[in-house]
Amino acid sequence: MNKKGNLSINSENIFPIIKKWLYSDHDIFLRELVSNASDAITKRKKLSLVGETELPEDFKPEIRVNTSSEKKTLEVIDNGIGMTAEEVEKYINEIAFSGATDFMEKYKGKADEDQIIGHFGLGFYSVFMVAEKVTIDTLSCMPGAKPVHWESEGGVEFEMSEGDRTEVGTKITLYMADDCHEFANEYRIRNVLDKYCAFMPYEIYLKNADAKEEPPKEGEEPKKETPVNDTTPLFAKHPNECKDEDYKEFYRKVFKEYREPLFWIHLNMDYPFNLKGILYFPKINLGYESLEGTIKLFNNQVFVADNIKEVIPEYMMLLKGVIDCPDLPLNVSRSALQNDGFVTKIQEYISKKIADKLSGLCKVDREFYEKNWESISPFVKYGCLRDEKFCKKMTDYILFKGIDDKYMVLPECLAVKPIDDEPEEGEEAEKKEDEAKDRIEKVDGEVVPEEGKEEEKKEKTVYYVTDPVQQSQYVNHFKKMKMAAVVLPDEIDRPFIQQLEAKNEGIHFKRIDAAMEDAFMAKSTKKLEEELKADTETLTGLFKKILKKDSVKIRVEKLKNKEISSMILVNEESLRMQDMMRQYGMKDSELGKGEETLVLNVNHKLVQYLLSHSEGENVATVCEELYDLARIQQGPLDPEAMTKFVTRTNKIMGLLAE
């Protein structure tokens, strides 16, 4: 049998096949060859099960990869189904005719416990990205089959003749192109196999054909060959078969990570789609590590790619793990995915499993959950921002660390009530008057508003701190007033709390230094306003004259805490606007402070000093000091202001020492 001809293109499966650009990574050719070899073994096993062929008693499925740097060749050998001349003509000479697809259709429903990897019939031609010449020597397992030899240079013309192979299976030999000699090197090929074929279902053996093997000494047993792959990876097993140490060892091996994961989720689903995998929550150091994990995607234990966003939602990229889904709709290169509803269902399933795991931990093992919250929180918060369904499932299991260093979930934050102080002089009468106006009646056990008055919706406020050190005066006051506040120091916290407000009607977050009326000021009354009117006029004129800042408003109050002399009144909306502008890259010096309200406490000695010594020689010094003391509670002073503050403080200390 001798035949020559040109390779034909199947008109129904025309792809943009360009030898050097079929795949983005040229090393992927080895994945395609080994995958085809694996398919060939699976086909042979299937045929034996349906009685069309017999397997030898000592049959051991295996794939062998031989390298030779001297000859600049690479061989991939399998003991699979093999091919007849007609099959070579059909599956090799007609590009894009998928033998796997044809085989599956023919034997559909018969002994289909093993999966076929290939789908498109283009994988074989990836060899021409690296080889200038390729030969195939194959012998079919079918009775009476004759061996076939096929070779092609450049992938355009071929020669096919009767071969001399005596064992059932296929050997493909690549003669490397001048710029691809690296793929004839044992160590390079070992790395490629480790990358793409570490979990292939059949044993793969790698051998350096150039190495001289010394025969075993007398009495010694020959060295046992070790496959380069794990045919039964952890993610392919049932969770009941796996121990904690197995998960940790798999994590170390696959991700080269020396730190143990916090915990993991074992995915195992057969319906409505086949999906297996393990997702790990790694330990994260927010101080110096980037928040990026690795999700390795497999198809029938064959590596496809890292972090394919069509399958893995963006926020899940913080995790590390493996996912094997044979049902994924892959494109021609198996390195990207088609967008369809099936992929969306996979995303939703994975998201639900993660939310179930986290909420379960919070309910069952709260101590562990709290202990590891700092590592978990970036993932949870980012997930809530990106996935509405995930956010809905996780809202009641998000932890907030209080200023007392204790953790609370959101419902617990909303349940915390401050202990009211005793009303100050003059408040009691007005308090009773207000209660009379808001009087309600109980009818048949139901609380109903007074006639003509609509029932008001409950509004809940959660106070928060962004910098416990900088805002320590506010924190100390909250503690003194037995009020609760949570610590939200990270950049992601600002958009995160806005998301919670948007999704939970009636819930508001307010920064601790924007909570002046709530925590720091005595309840305003007409009597108090009249009492402070003269002081307000005096202090306003004094500070306007000395500070010469039109943007600073003066407000005089009787603060509950008599140790506080002055504070800056901030606006929550303005704070959030500044945070947003910072996220867009604007520096603090470019933001502009806008209008500020300087609150002066008439219960403090320094303010009383100003009222009684409005014409004194040290008035300007005290005014400027009170203003800077208030500002420094908000954030660091600029260099010029800090220099003046230090100089002025030294002057004041000097006066005290006289």
What is the C-alpha to C-alpha distance for residues 499 and 580, in angstroms, rounded to an integer?
A: 14
Indicate whether 490 and 565 sit together in one domain: no
- 333: CATH: 3.30.230.80
The confidence score (pLDDT) of residue 97 equals: 45
> Helices (H), strands (E): how many in the chain?
19, 25
| Sheet strands (E) in 50-156 | 62-68, 73-78, 94-95, 131-139, 148-153
The confidence score (pLDDT) of residue 230 equals: 94
The confidence score (pLDDT) of residue 73 equals: 96
Indicate whether 388 and 414 sit together in one domain: no
Does residue 213 form part of some domain? no
- 126: CATH: 3.30.565.10
Which residues is 280 bridged to in the sheet?
A: 264, 320
- 405: CATH: 3.40.50.11260
Indicate whether 67 and 201 sit together in one domain: yes
Work out how many domains the chain is built from and give that number.
Answer: 4
Indicate whether 499 and 541 sit together in one domain: no
What is the C-alpha to C-alpha distance for residues 206 and 204, in angstroms, rounded to an integer?
A: 7
Does residue 429 form part of some domain? no
Which residues is 208 bridged to in the sheet?
A: 67
Does residue 146 form part of some domain? yes
The strands making up 320-324's β-sheet, listed across from edge to edge, are 263-269, 275-281, 320-324, 294-299, 302-306
The confidence score (pLDDT) of residue 292 equals: 64
Q: Which of 208, 225, 256 is the last residue of a domain?
A: 208
Q: What range does the domain containing 471 cover? A: 399-420+458-520
| Residue type at position 360 | G
Does residue 452 form part of some domain? no
Indicate whether 370 and 513 sit together in one domain: no
Minimal CA–CA distance to 67: which of 195, 224, 210? 210
What is the C-alpha to C-alpha distance for residues 240 and 470, in angstroms, rounded to an integer?
A: 51
The confidence score (pLDDT) of residue 327 equals: 77
The confidence score (pLDDT) of residue 11 equals: 34
Indicate whether 347 and 473 sit together in one domain: no
The confidence score (pLDDT) of residue 523 equals: 59
Would the pTM count as exceeding 0.85?
Answer: no
Structure tokens at 309: 């966003």
| Residue type at position 151 | E
Indicate whether 533 and 635 sit together in one domain: yes
Using the 8-state DSSP alphabet, how is residue 236 labeled? G
Does residue 238 form part of some domain? yes
CA distances to 546, 558, 593, 594, 632 from 597, in Å: 16, 15, 11, 10, 14
What is the C-alpha to C-alpha distance for residues 115 and 98, in angstroms, rounded to an integer?
A: 15
Q: Which residue has the tokens 């604007």?
A: 586
Does residue 19 form part of some domain? yes
The confidence score (pLDDT) of residue 617 equals: 85
The confidence score (pLDDT) of residue 85 equals: 92
Indicate whether 20 and 160 sit together in one domain: yes
Indicate whether 155 and 240 sit together in one domain: no
Low-confidence ranges of the chain (pLDDT < 70): 1, 3, 5-24, 94-122, 155-156, 284-292, 307-310, 329-341, 416-458, 516-526, 579-595, 658
Does residue 485 form part of some domain? yes
Indicate whether 393 and 416 sit together in one domain: no
Q: Which of 397, 432, 450 is the last residue of a domain?
A: 397
Indicate whether 186 and 318 sit together in one domain: no
Indicate whether 404 and 375 sit together in one domain: no
Does residue 142 form part of some domain? yes
Instruction: Kindly tell me the burial class for residue 41, based on how many C-beta atoms sit within 10 Å of its own C-beta (0-12, 13-18, 19 or more).
Output: buried
- 645: CATH: 1.20.120.790
Structure tokens at 472: 């320590």
The packing angle between helices 28-49 and 99-106, to 10°, is: 20
DSSP 26-78: TTHHHHHHHHHHHHHHHHHHHHHHTTSS---TT---EEEEEEETTTTEEEEEE
